[in-house]
Amino acid sequence: MPEVELTAGTIAYEDTGGPGPVVVLLHGLVHDATVWRKVVAGLRADHRVIAPTLPYGAHRTPMRPDVPLTPDSVNDLVAEFLDRLDLADVILVENDCGRARTVAAKHPGRLAGLVLTSCEAFDNYPPGVPGKLIALACKVPGGITVLARTLALRPLRRLPVGLGALTKRPVPDEILDGWLRPLLTDPAIRADFRRYNQGVRRTELLEAVDGLRKFDKPALVVWATEDRMMPRAHGRRLADVLPQGRLVEIEDSCTLIAEDQPEALCAILRDFIAETR
């Protein structure tokens, strides 16, 4: 897997290469680029698909401790990632976390379009019970280790207060093991995770709404109808905020649509990308 050295540290990413339209996929907390593996497989034949592993706890290389690591700084990291790879006319897709909308508002020149799929928005931040448990764990000494060890217990993985809240169907154990291993084994990764979560500003995503109103390019909001973390009404609200926004809902799915309904998501992305050409 290639890597790029950015101001905050080293970022690993998957890049299918090829001359097709560029699609950049952003994941959420305690996931890595493998959360998009089925979407990458579905698009790679005729798209250049790039999926970075962001410093959200499942990254393997710690960030520089002398550089701020917060949700705001990750917005800058994503923009720097696009610049360093010299990516233009990008379709930027995000799931679970809410960084892409700020990147789109501040750096619209890099983007051809924006896709928001079941993600934190407005005042739902941190989202749901799992998000609030993560925030609590980052405030308590040893809390992140306890959280990671609890999530790593296979009999508990489908509980709705943990990773089980994100999907209707179990994520393969080998994928979940990969997501959790850095938090379980590397104190520096746990320190990164704590720094990021302690930097959360509750008003950040409300402030981002003003930026979305100025993003006058093709935009698509894709929402899971059975999402347990992200209110269904937020999908409609986000689509209404975006000048060229529209909403598509996907049945039989929770937050991680790329896990629950990858074929449907690929079809929707293909149609949207074709419309932006």
Q: At what angle do helices 187-198 and 143-152 cross, to 10 degrees?
A: 110
Q: Check residue 52 and give its pLDDT.
A: 98
pLDDT at site 130: 81
What is the H or E stretch that residue 190 is in?
helix 187-198
Task: Count CB atoms within 10 A of the CB of residue 127.
Answer: 28
Instruction: Give me 137's structure tokens.
Output: 């764990």
DSSP output for 164-182: GGG-SSPPPHHHHHHHHHH
Segment (H or E) for 51: strand 48-52
Residue tagged 């050409």 (tokens)? 277
Q: What is the pLDDT of residue 146?
A: 92
Q: What is the DSSP string of 98-156?
A: --HHHHHHH-GGGEEEEEEEEE--TT--S-HHHHHHHHHHTTSTTHHHHHHHHHH-GGG
pLDDT tens digits, 36-66: 999 999 999 999 999 999 999 999 999 999 9
Q: CA 96, CA 159: separation in Å to the nearest integer?
A: 18
Q: Please tell me the predicted confidence (pLDDT) of residue 9.
A: 98
Residue 159 pLDDT = 79
pLDDT of 157: 81
Tens-digit pLDDT profile for residues 86-97? 999 999 999 999
List, for residues 245-264, the tens digit of each pLDDT value: 999 999 999 999 999 999 99
What local confidence, expressed as pLDDT, does residue 45 receive?
Answer: 95
Enumerate residues 6+ apart whose C-beta is below 8 A from 41.
none
pLDDT lower than 50: segments of the chain = none
Q: Give the per-residue pLDDT at 154.
A: 85
Identify whether 170 is preceded by a cis peptide bond (ω within 30 of 0): no
Report pLDDT for 122. Answer: 94
Q: Which of 49, 80, 117, 58 is nearest to 264 (CA)?
A: 117
